[in-house]
Chain A
Amino acid sequence: MTTAIELSDVIKSFQQVKAVDGISFNIRQGEVVALLGPNGAGKSTTADMILGLQNADSGEISVAGRHPRKACENGLVGAMLQSSGLPTELTVRETVALMARFYPNSAGVDETIQAAGISAIAGKRTDRLSGGESQRARFALALIADPKILVLDEPTAAMDVASRHEFWNTMRSAAERGRTLVFATHYLEEADKYADRIILMRQGRVVADGTSASIKSAASSRTVSFEIAGEPGLNLDTLAGVTSVARTANTYRLTCDDSDSVLRRIISAFPGAFNFEVSATGLDEAFLALTKGDTGDD
């Protein structure tokens, strides 16, 4: 499969803040990828750079084998930006028709309106749309060039549960046509449900990259720490459920898949062990931050 989007060692700072701090990933044509992370993780900045709206301070970005700006101008990329109004005093149809004029090979006005599922609101003036409706109108604009790649930044932010569901159904049929779909979200559930692959971001870095299942298992790991006076006399690495061991003085920190069974083994093997502590790993913390559903803008 060909590469649709490629980022290598991309860094972007605003004043003193490193919004994106050295990220690399490849997205293949046809993949549906979620950029998942809490607010301020660098998802929007990453999306902006993929779209050529912002230049990276360093690192390389290529989209459909070319510079991001070129890819957009050639109509290979369609986008729904996080904050993008529609032109006032035009109807939805007129706005779609205007955009169609920008691309020599546009998907067609009627076809696009149909594909985005906005026939019912096509005659409405853009300033009279509800949040969810205007979001869907903007989705139509993202489809107008019949792009191979779609980049959606928090596409369902303004939607209620019902329109969110409907939106993803539309999105799915857009992706079924072999399109590459990259969407930024801070909803774990959306990423889990709709993406083949999740790139989990936190504080400008990629902290995990894989299928939803692999991320979940990584995220569910725990650290078990305890103290033993003297040597354990047993190779802790080989203990079932342990993925790594760190030792400082008499304190051992075991990263585990299955902290419960490890804990039982340790207690029975070392009656003299004390100061037990079971804690979530950093990735889990990231997940917690996500699932807590903190609100606000990033």
Chain B
Amino acid sequence: MQIEKITRQGYAATLSKEVLWDIYKSMKTQRLLEDRLLKMYKGGQLSGAVYPGIGQEACMAGIAAGMDSKDIFGGTHRDLGVQIKKGVTLKEIALNFFGKNDGPSKGRDGNSHFGVVDKGTLMVVSPLPDSAPVAVGWALASQQSGTGVVAVANCGEGATATGTWHESVNMAAVLNLPVVFTVQNNQFAYSSPNDTEFGTPNVADRAAGYGIPARIIDGNDIYEVIDAIHESCENARNGNGPSLIELVTFRHYGHAGHDPAEYVNDEVREFWMKRDPIARFEDALLQEGLFTTEQFVSLSEELEAEIKETIDWAKNQDDPDPKNEESDMFADRTTPLIENSENNKETMNFIEAITNGLDELMDNDENVFMMGEDIGVFEGAFKATKGLFNKYGPFRVIDTSISEGGFTGAAVGAALAGKKPIVELQFYDFVYPALDQITTEAAKYNWKAGKPVPMVVRGPTGAGTRSGPFHSISPESLLAHHPGIKVVAPSNPYDAKGLLIAAVNDPNPVMYLEHKKLYRKPDLKMEVPLGLYEVEIGKGKIVKEGSDLTIVTWSGMVSVAEQAAQELSKDGLSVEIIDIRTIVPLDEEIILNSVEKTSNLCILQEDVPFSSIASEISSLVAEKGFWSLDNPIIKVTPPNTHIPFAPVLEDAFIPSVEKVIKAVKELQ
């Protein structure tokens, strides 16, 4: 078979013999390893799956070789070659494939779904290209701090059809971030050919839509890949913004070990086999007289032996202990809670307390920054960022495109890079497009990759402003159902500031819910200390002591509970009100202690009832506080519907003082 020749040019031409041998070795390692794994999989020796990148070795090794060692790579399950070239060891890979305790994901994910952040590879997840916005966020942190780190966001051509990819490229372009988007176009998204995935002849054609440069290169020419990647990385590093590189290539096997790839016809296969990247590289190295065939054969033998030995070793390593199933869900906070040491106080309403908190956080720590729609010049839809753009500038109070998924994912990347990002959702109803990033990336990082993600997603929640079904949700249960994220929902200015500061200082992703009806509620104004102080996350508060009935509530419903308690006291009923303040982690103790005292429980929430926090608390008390109960548990909630617009409907939807009183009296 005639092999198409490749020749060194540009940056590739400057590489030493040793560097070239190293690149060749990593390509060969990938191929032999994946070949071995594929055989083991087919022989029933390996659980899970194998996603061989055989045929794409030049893309992977070339991407890694074109990057600086400090640069960060966000890729896919088919990028083992990049990981190998970035320094991830065979042992690490083998341990992950066997789900072993000491592997990069501690057995929490298998095969090639892992990253080693310290070696410059982001955690690999299955929804693609979910690491793209994370890479963009890392680049954002780099831009802010001037570290000169470039992020490479890689995916296959199929994943470019997603909104996530679009948002990532668009954001990077708008913010002029040091990102190189690489697309390994291996002709098939699983089984689907290019023309079923995008309407332009090439992926690279779409770069024009983002206003960024792009090029199409031969992904099976190691020299061209190295040169292109290096050039794009250096451009980005020098402040010239992102670019797109489409690496045209071909995978020799199916999407995964179980896929025979019968959708590939012989003609196509033959065309690409002539362009096998390793054969071409070997040919070029021989032509240059740098290495001999014997050296290639000898390296293969050494690598095969090492791979076999490593796999045998990995098989016998410790499995993870199911006893540790629940560990690493959250990173432990290591710094002490900040007590309020300032005597200066100022009367603030709810939103002023939030703005004050944001200001002091940004003033105190330059790693704190904000992202969101219209939060800069316009100072936010509700003016939560009032004065902050003028004080801290466009690099720390960042106006984003309408890309909730994009900028939330970027917050993950920035957090991994050492920043403390605060994302503002204009309305918490718009969390849906961001949920993928929150749950796939933010919630799983510490658990699966051992890297905490200190970020805050804040925004207005709740009904009562005649804003209809898309500006009114109470997302507590929606968020809380996902393990790995914290959820706080303050009810007054003091707690709002204290919890905000605690949220930003928490090493974990915290969803910070601001009930918009509280923002400027006149009777909620109170004295709030100036200076940093924290309200501990996970601690509820007894708002009012009582002996006959406990009302557990939070956020906008606390004042409803207080009014109801006042009315009920006229009938001689002494109501205790617990403001849980934090949904996750829930302060079970304060609830159970109160129910032990009163024996009667009413849970009041604005969120819809089915599968909700009220259900959760009810379940908690039924399980752990059963012997304290003197009556069935009451839940006062809206109906299980969407939030309606018509004032008469919305008023009927939101739990009222009267509804609480009626429910309690029916019980008595």
Partners in one complex: no
